[in-house]
Amino acid sequence: MLAGLKQQKRKVNQIDISFRTTGQGPALLMLHGHPQNHMMWHKVVPALSEHFTLVTADLRGYGDSDKPVSPPSESLYSKRIMAQDMRELMASLGFNKFAVLAHDRGARVAHRLGLDHPDAVLGMMLLDIAPTLAMYRQTNEAFARAYWHWFTLIRPTPFPETLIESDPELYLRSVMGARSAGMKPFTPEVLAEYQRCLSLPGTAYGICEDYRASAGIDLEHDEEDIRQGNHLTCPLMALWGKNGAIEQCFEPLNEWKKVAAQVEGKAMPSGHYIAEEVPELLIAEALSFFSSINDL
């Protein structure tokens, strides 16, 4: 269904963000993970579009969105900047208040979006992450082996970019295929779209900058939130894969309760890619959770 929708671009926060929109009802922003793009939502969009106006966007550095080059000693890929992209995109579309459904890297952007723009975010569902600061602080061997790319991609440019660019398909399959479900959840058409976007000039750089920011400036922002007592105030539903590293290495619900005021969550019978492994179950959870938010 997503491929049949017009792909648009909107200049926000000094860059072009690529997105598609469909459906009717309250606004729901949907943010993807790594090394994907907005097409990861293709299995859940048809059902959710009957209840919500969906905005599926590519994060800066990913998909068909712009991939700006950071100046020396400064990151243009902090989650604060990436969250501002999405706040301005939604405002430009006429949505000053909205909910968020986000996976992986997009969920980290959503976390910052809720902290920096609590007036705009009515509620969020985050898929298969624990808070970034908690994950770095609690790194152990099992996590480092499962999330090896977290530590490879943060090396200074151009080393990790060169590795990705030398064989984008190999990188894609090495990251996604190494998860518990292998490559089975991904349709050939969407997999081809992931590979196309990963092969675009600048994508490898944008991805690495995203991860470098998470190991640098993003941790500083998260630590400052803790010092200031700044918590997520909107309703939060955290879902994670029972067969994934989040379940095995962390206590995600307890970690989210440390940084959010209204939290519920549970493990799903899947691995990391919940939206593509168990879409029907995710649809049911999303409809139940977002319908419970009074302001939607």
**pLDDT tens digit string along 11-47?**
999 999 999 999 999 999 999 999 999 999 999 999 9
Residue for token pair 């599926």: 56
Find the mean pLDDT for residues 86-96: 98
Q: E-assigned strands of the chain? A: 8-12, 15-23, 27-31, 53-57, 98-103, 121-127, 232-241, 260-268
| Active-site position among 64, 104, 116, 210 | 104
* Predicted local distance difference test score (pLDDT) of residue 180: 85
* Predicted local distance difference test score (pLDDT) of residue 1: 61
* Predicted local distance difference test score (pLDDT) of residue 255: 97
Is residue 231 part of the annotated active site? The answer reads no
Q: Which two tokens stand for residue 179?
A: 């998860």
Spatial separation of the C-alpha atoms in residues 100 and 102, rounded to whole Å: 6
Find the mean pLDDT for residues 133-162: 95
Find the mean pLDDT for residues 90-111: 98
Task: Give tens-digit pLDDT for 105-119.
Answer: 999 999 999 999 999
243 Cβ contact list (under 8 Å, min separation 6): 180, 181, 269, 270, 271
Half-sphere exposure of 56 (CA within 13 A, CB side): 29
Task: Give tens-digit pLDDT for 164-187.
Answer: 999 999 999 999 998 988 999 999
| Active-site position among 32, 38, 111, 272 | 272
How would residue 296 be classed by pLDDT, with cut points 50, 70 and 90?
A: confident
Nearest by Cα to 186 from 15, 33, 73, 42: 42
141 Cβ contact list (under 8 Å, min separation 6): none
Percent of the chain clearing pLDDT 70 (strictly above) = 100
* Spacing of C-alpha 69 from chain mean position: 21
Reply yes or no on whether the pLDDT at 87 is more than 90.
Answer: yes
User: Bigger pLDDT: 4 or 115?
Assistant: 115
Question: Mean pLDDT in the chain?
Answer: 96
Task: Give tens-digit pLDDT for 235-278.
Answer: 999 999 999 999 999 999 999 999 999 999 999 999 999 999 99
Task: Give tens-digit pLDDT for 184-241.
Answer: 999 999 999 999 999 999 999 999 999 999 999 999 999 999 999 999 999 999 999 9
Nearest by Cα to 276 from 18, 33, 76, 107: 33
Q: What is the four-CA torsion angle of 126, 285, 44, 206, rounded to 10 degrees?
A: 0
User: Bigger pLDDT: 4 or 56?
Assistant: 56
Is residue 295 part of the annotated active site? The answer reads no
Nearest by Cα to 221 from 130, 154, 131, 118: 131
Spatial separation of the C-alpha atoms in residues 14 and 21, rounded to whole Å: 21
